[in-house]
Amino acid sequence: MQDHDNKEPVTMARRFLSFCLAILVGIVSLYFAIQLLSQFWGWLLLLALVIVGVYVTVLAARWRRDRW
């Protein structure tokens, strides 16, 4: 079992450094995510249009059938 009394206290400078590193990692991750998304956003848009088209077709068919 570890003794928690032997831990040295975390200084404000270390907390600030950890915060800055976390922000840097977040920015780099966001940059790579946007780069990856920009490579295939056209396919995602096409897929969304196909799904909306199928949905509208189903709604129109249901409306025509329920009209009688």
Phi first, then psi: give them for residue 18, nearest 5 degrees: -65, -40
DSSP 3-state of 47: helix
**CA neighbours closer than 13 Å in the CB half-sphere of residue 5:** 0
Q: Please name which of 21, 41, 43 lies closest in space to residue 33, comparing C-alpha atoms.
A: 41
Report the alpha-carbon distance of residue 12 to residue 10 in Å, rounded. 7
User: Which position has the token pair 């995602």?
Assistant: 44
Mean pLDDT, to the nearest integer, of 6-34?
A: 92
Q: What is the pLDDT of residues 22-68, one digit of tens each?
A: 999 999 999 999 999 889 888 999 999 999 999 999 999 999 888 76
The residue type of 40 is: F
pTM higher than the cut 0.75: no
Domain locations in the chain as residue ranges: 8-66
Q: How confident is the model at residue 3 (pLDDT cuts 50, 70, 90)?
A: low
